[in-house]
Structure 1
């Protein structure tokens, strides 16, 4: 994915290290079996990574990992899931009615790198991946 590689190559991380967090989430998604990745680039708005399980028929993705680009010098992440595909035992996410392609979802915003938060999001990605086949 040239556009994804270009984003990662051009993105100069700051003290918040959100590039590091995004990169780790990308690597995790790439490690999940039967998963394809779509990347939607909208500079100045967002960069959206959309993983899809090969066994999904009704939905185009099982999660959305967005880099919010409203301030390119201070990007942050929003990681969203369909509500029924994940649990949130730490209640760290925000329930967003009709927030993911018109369906209820959970979104987790990350403004700075936190190893435990990244691990939690990787667990949610794995869970959504496991529950995605329809």
Structure 2
């Protein structure tokens, strides 16, 4: 099986595929929102996105990444996301000019169904395993496709 690091830059651990527009290899050299990814349904054990989702535009690009991760993860596979908390009272989420989407703990509840939009945005359902604020400004979320 395969594990994917989204936007890993030069920090990808051995055994992980780097889905990165600069440092990815072959078909994996692309933005994460450039879907479909070059792997079949259920062919991935784990996905990590550490401080990269805030660089993916909100709206359709964000949904494309979440829905594609849902497609490629095997049953029980885990997607781990770390993002700056825009509601933490610190400057971290807002200061970086390359941040194009902002996250708070409640953002993840649109994916796990705790919150629901009043329209069908095509969001595939997730099960949240862990959701917490770490330190003064980081949100950690781990989820699996439902």
> Same fold by TM-score, threshold 0.5 exceeded?
no
Bigger share in helix: 1
> TM-score, normalized by length of structure 1?
0.25
Larger radius of gyration: 2
